[in-house]
Chain A
Amino acid sequence: MATTVIMPKLGLTMTEGTIERWLKKEGDRVQKGEPLVEIITEKINFQYESPASGILRKILRHEGEVVPVATPIAIIAEEGEALTEIEGIMPEIQVEPTAPPLIHKETQAERSERILASPLAKKMAKEKGVDLRTLRGSGPRGRIVQADVLKAIEHLKEKEVPSPPPVQPSSGRLLPLRGIRKIIAKRMAESFQNIPHFYLSVEVEMTALQELRERIKEEIERRLNIRITMTDLLVKITASALKDHPIMNSKFEEDQIRLMEEINIGVAIALEEGLIVPVIHHADKKSLGEISVALRDLTQRARGGKLSLEEVEGGTFTLSNMGMLGIDQFNPIINPPQCSILGVGRTVEKPVVKGREIVIKPMAWLTLSSDHRIVDGATAAQFLNDLKRLIEDPVLLLI
């Protein structure tokens, strides 16, 4: 029996996915459970496994297309099996509430109105800011050719319309944006353009935290066979601090601020293909050991590209520790729709004044980037100072 493959819903918040790559061609035989298509959501790359065995008879949605959840993307059937009835039921499937058929129609319409232009004309129009839709082509089949674009440019000049500054044709090797890189590019640009960031920095003494780690290290290693890291401790402390500052654990929506119930801490991990932020859910309710185990597991699976969508979703606050990369201080970009992100620098032994004496202490810079639409400097400062207090005197965690 034929099976319609639909765009899977890979997480709670997923509404649409991009077909990154079909792993099978039309006519290929697939086994149930075999990777069929690579799908990118806003957050991850995901290999979707075939829901049935048979021949991949038809690919309905192609690479690069953004497809709403539950929209049919392919049909798997046996060889020779008639697809007419499948096609018959397809529209019904499409009447899924989350699948707006309008979008589909629009792209169809765009297709038929495709502008015929030579590659050179297209390149030139783009460089000079000429809208090809305003031109009439003089080439065969009405194709817009270089001459038409040149004429349009002349025309623009005559009208003395200030043209955008010419883009310098750049040399160098081109790396296409794909996968995670593409997502990062989009999300970070959006964040930085749309969120009014402000930054607060504070230097904290790490003596107590380092001592604490030394004291519990062996015990944790013995019990859980795991080495506890500073990041683990910072997740715990941040979660604890957030409990007292619910406004920092919030997100910005249209005209309102939503205070989040759960405290889910995302931890930024650098992979070769780009940054990924797995989330430790309910970090405030987890013990240090649990956090440590969870973070290790997430990190390892992130490196293997095996995170599920749930595991990178739902973060309410992000922690980015660049200490191990030798960075003293940096201003991280907020991971939308969260309110804040904490950037942790490396711990350095340096002279500090204690009382009237200069002593050598391990110090680190914390920088908090926050969304000014949600919080003001003073609010964020209080949170950051609490965080500092907990780091310098972690015994307070017990309270």
Chain B
Amino acid sequence: MNLRELTNTEAMVEALKEEMTRDPSIFIIGEDLVAHGGIFGQFIGLPEAFPGRVIDTPISETCIVGAGLGAALTGMRPFVDLHFADFTTCAMDEIVNQVAKIRYMFGGQAKIPLVIWAPDGAGLSAAAHHSQSLEAWFIHTPGLKVVSPCFPYDVKGLIKTSIRSDDPIIFFMHKKIFSRKGPVPEEEYVIPLGKAEIKHPGTDVTIITYSIMVLHALEVAEEMEKEGIRVEVLDLRTLWPMDWERIAESVTKTHRVIIAHEACLTCGFGAEISARIQEELFDELDAPIFRVGAYRVPIPFSPPLERFVIPGKESLKKTIYNMFGKEIDSK
């Protein structure tokens, strides 16, 4: 296997290029895509490579998602760019009432091969309207599948699978990981939806997490090793369908669980995972389940405020100490 490194953005562009070459029914639609290859450069090179198949739209989120839906219903495979996850709210009726429900309402008559791609996450002083992590809303909505990977390898494999899926997918990517590099093989591959992956094996506590929090968890795992606590980091990659088997396997091994996400703690996905663990694996638990997430406030602008609100490495460490009944090192 070739060990070349790509950024997450490059991995995504490569996935789109391969898929668009393979299947002419795929097109990309959204605001400000053509001039710069997307505001994050996330589609760089594609407008030139596929003229007419990367489509700029007016600022009309409802009809952008709706256009994706209508096209998906009539034989196309649209890839919708929503600019920022925060703008899903402008298309919420389309996503929740139409995209998610149309197949079901019509008794299975329709297929919706649609990807809605939305950059999420905080940490860039983008303030309250450009920093949210909203995955829980969509996991809560029957009919959608939700993906949120963190490494270039996973991004590429999951973008390809999402495009090929006949069910609608909300694909979140944290803005802070766009330029992060990682190995991506040159050979073609796909990653099935709903498969979590252990990114760091351990025996004492499992951190179940996804998106940028995986990176924090990995750092913590390294540090904890020195203190004799072996942390297992389970990267969900796909949030729905949730890889319960992997979760159960890991919990049964370590008997201690922390669930971490950048989204606000209250009614976050961690609550769901935690509830299910205690329902089904109660007797496996050697400690209460802890969750790590943001405070329940909008994401503030000023860096010290923002850093305080969103969770990171330190919150994870504190939680582990708390769990093991250790005093927090004050140095």
Distance A140 CA – B326 CA, assembled complex (angstroms): 8
From residue 119 to 149 of chain A, which have CB atoms closer than 8 A to chain B? 119-123, 138-140, 143, 145-146
B285 CB–A CB distance under 8 Å:
yes
Q: Nearest Cβ in chain B — how far from A17, in angstroms? A: 30
Q: How far, in whole Å, are A119 and B323 apart by their CA atoms in the complex? A: 15
CB contacts (< 8 Å) of A140 on chain B: these are 287, 322-325
The answer for the CA separation of A143 and B324 in the assembled complex, in Å, is 11
Say which residue of A119, A120, A139, A146 sits within 8 Å of B325 (CB atoms): A139
| B322 and A120 form a contact (CB under 8 A) | no
With an 8 A cutoff between CB atoms, is A385 at the interface? no
Interface centre among A120, A121, A122, A139 (most CB of B within 10 A): A120
Contact of A145 among B282, B283, B284, B287 (CB under 8 A): B287
Q: Determine the distance from Cα of A307 to Cα of B255 in the docked complex, in whole angstroms.
A: 48
Alpha-carbon distance between A121 and B282 when the two chains are bound, in angstroms = 11
Q: Which residue of B lies closest to A121 (CB)?
A: B286
The CA-CA distance from A146 to B253 in the complex, in Å, is 12
Q: Which residue from chain A places its CB closest to the CB of B322 in the assembled complex?
A: A140
How many residues belonging to B are interface residues under a CB distance threshold of 8 Å?
11
CA of A262 to CA of B287, assembled, Å: 60
B287 — nearest CB in chain A belongs to which residue?
A118
CB of A146 within 8 A of CB of B322, answer no
Query: With A and B bound together, what is the CA distance between A146 and B285 in angstroms?
Result: 9
Q: Which has the most chain A C-beta neighbours within 10 Å: B282, B283, B322, B324?
A: B283
A119/B322 in contact, CB under 8 A: no
Distance A119 CA – B325 CA, assembled complex (angstroms):
17
With A139-B325, A140-B322, A140-B325 known as contacts, the answer to whether A146 contacts B255 (CB < 8 A) is yes
Number of chain A residues whose Cβ lies closer than 8 Å to a Cβ of chain B: 12
**Bound-state Cα–Cα, A372 to B283, Å:** 45
Question: Once the chains bind, are A139 and B283 in contact (CB under 8 Å)?
Answer: no
Given the complex of chains A and B, what is the CA–CA distance between A121 and B325 in angstroms?
Answer: 16
Q: How far is the CB of A136 from chain B (nearest CB, A)?
A: 13
**Nearest CB in chain A: distance from B79 CB, A:** 45
Known: A139-B325, A140-B325. A146 touches B283 (CB 8 A): no
What is the bound-complex CA distance between A146 and B205, given in angstroms? 13
Taken together as a complex, chains A and B put the C-alpha atoms of A121 and B255 apart, in Å, by 10
Residues of A within 8 A of B323 (CB): 140
Q: Within residues 85 to 139 of chain A, which ones have a CB less than 8 A from any CB in chain B?
A: 118-123, 138-139
- The answer to whether B285 and A118 touch across the interface, beta carbons within 8 angstroms, is yes
CB within 8 Å of A: which B249-308 residues? 255, 282-287
Main SS of the interface on chain A?
Answer: helix
| Cβ 8 A contact of B287, one of A122, A123, A139 | A139
Q: In the complex, are the beta carbons of A145 and B286 less than 8 A apart?
A: yes
Whether A123 pairs with B325 at a CB distance below 8 angstroms is: no
**Which residues of chain A have C-beta atoms less than 8 A from B322's C-beta?**
140
Cα of A118 to Cα of B284 in the assembled complex, Å: 9
How far, in whole Å, are A140 and B325 apart by their CA atoms in the complex? 5
For B284, the chain A residues whose CB sits under 8 A away are: 119-120
The complex places the Cα of A120 from the Cα of B324 at a distance, in Å, of 15
- Contact string against A for B residues 20-39, beta-carbon threshold 8 Å, 1 for contact and 0 otherwise: 00000000000000000000
Q: How far is the CA of A118 from the CA of B286 in the complex (A)?
A: 5
| Separation of A121 and B284 alpha carbons in the complex (Å) | 9
* A123 with B283: CB separation less than 8 A: yes
Considering the complex, give the chain B residue whose CB is closest to the CB of A120.
Answer: B286
Q: In whole angstroms, how far apart are the Cα atoms of A118 and B289 in the complex?
A: 11
* C-alpha gap A123/B285 in the complex (Å): 10
Residue of B nearest to A148 (CB): B286
* Complexed CA–CA distance, A139 and B285 (Å): 13
Q: In chain B between 105 and 123, which residues have their CB closer than 8 angstroms to a CB of chain A? A: none
Q: What is the bound-complex CA distance between A238 and B325, given in angstroms? A: 70
Residues of B within 8 A of A146 (CB): 255, 286
Question: CA separation between A164 and B324, bound complex, in Å?
Answer: 31
| CB of B318 to closest CB in A, whole Å | 13
Q: How far is the CB of B277 from chain A (nearest CB, A)?
A: 11
User: Shortest Cβ distance from A117 into chain B, in angstroms?
Assistant: 10
CB contacts (< 8 Å) of A119 on chain B: these are 282-286
Measured in the bound complex, the distance between the Cα atoms of B256 and A146 in whole Å is 11
Complex: A139 Cα to B321 Cα, angstroms: 11
CB of B279, distance to nearest CB on chain A (Å): 12
Measured between beta carbons, the chain B residues less than 8 angstroms from A143 are: 287
The CA of A143 and the CA of B284, in the complex, are separated in Å by 15
Q: What per-residue 1/0 map shows which CB atoms of A157-184 lie under 8 Å from chain B?
A: 0000000000000000000000000000
Inter-chain contacts of B325 with A (CB < 8 A): 138-140
Residues of A near B324 (CB, < 8 A) are 140
Contact with A along B304-331 (1 / 0, CB 8 A): 0000000000000000001111000000
- Chain B residues with CB under 8 A of A138: 325
B286 contacts which chain A residues (CB < 8 A)? 118-121, 139, 145-146
- How long is the Cα–Cα vector from A118 to B285 in the complex, in angstroms? 7
Q: State in angstroms the CA–CA spacing of A120 and B282 once bound together.
A: 8
- State the Cβ distance, B302 to closest chain A Cβ, in Å: 35
Give per-residue flags for A315-351: 1 if the beta carbon is below 8 A from chain B beta carbons, else 0: 0000000000000000000000000000000000000
* Bound-state Cα–Cα, A138 to B286, Å: 12
- Which B residues, 176 to 194, have Cβ-Cβ distances below 8 Å to chain A? none
> A289-303 CB contact bits vs B (8 Å, 1 = yes)?
000000000000000
Q: Which of A9-59 contact B (CB under 8 A)?
A: none
When each residue 210-223 of chain B gets 1 if its CB lies under 8 Å from chain A and 0 otherwise, what string results? 00000000000000
Most buried by B among A138, A140, A143: A140
Q: Which residues from A are CB-within-8-Å of B255? A: 118, 120, 146
Expressed in whole angstroms, the Cα–Cα distance for A138 and B285 within the complex equals 15
**CA of A119 to CA of B285, assembled, Å:** 6
Minimum CB–CB distance for A91 against chain B, Å:
38
The answer for the CA separation of A60 and B8 in the assembled complex, in Å, is 61
Chain B minimum-CB-distance residue to A142: B325
A116 shortest CB reach to chain B, Å: 11
Taken together as a complex, chains A and B put the C-alpha atoms of A65 and B282 apart, in Å, by 24
Q: How far is the CA of A159 from the CA of B286 in the complex (A)?
A: 26
Chain A residues, Cβ within 8 Å of B287: 118, 139-140, 143, 145
Q: Sort A-B residue pairs by CB-CB distance and give the 8 closest, nearest first.
A: A140-B325, A123-B283, A120-B286, A118-B286, A146-B286, A119-B285, A145-B286, A119-B282
Residues of B within 8 A of A (CB): 255, 282-287, 322-325
Beyond A119-B285, A123-B283, A143-B287, list 6 extra A-B contacts (CB 8 Å).
A119-B282, A120-B285, A120-B286, A121-B286, A145-B286, A146-B286
Listed A/B pairs (9) with beta-carbon separation below 8 Å: A119-B282, A119-B284, A120-B283, A120-B285, A120-B286, A121-B286, A140-B322, A145-B287, A146-B286
